[in-house]
Amino acid sequence: MQEIFYKTFLKTTDPRTEYSALLSFEVIFCILVNLVFYVGAYFILMKLFGLPKKMMQIIIGLAVIMVLGYIGRLARVKSMYNVLRKDHEEEKAHKKATKQLRNAYFTWYFLS
């Protein structure tokens, strides 16, 4: 299962990936798995600390955030790539944009 997550990460942080690729099984699967874990964590916190039972709002909110997150991340790497292509050859711009974005996201994940 970790392979699916990593392959999805690589695909969605590549500026050459089309936006239509975000509708693939892998991306939807990753969103659903993350949704299950986050909702499970909310359920546990709800029971432990008496948080309000707003499960449907949490599910919809998280789903929207994750979908927009994938779109935003791909848009960000595409814009970085387009800016870098003005000063570098295409392959160098591709490597630089993907490296910068992937390093930023891996740092963020490990800090969380």
pLDDT of residue 46: 94
pLDDT at 108: 61
The whole-model pTM stands at: 0.88
* pLDDT > 70? residue 111: no
Tell me: pLDDT of 110 over 90: no
The mean per-residue pLDDT over the stretch 37-52 comes to 93
Residue 106 has a pLDDT of 74
> What single-letter amino acid sits at 102?
R
> Would you state the pLDDT for residue 112?
43
pLDDT band at residue 105 under the 50/70/90 scheme: confident
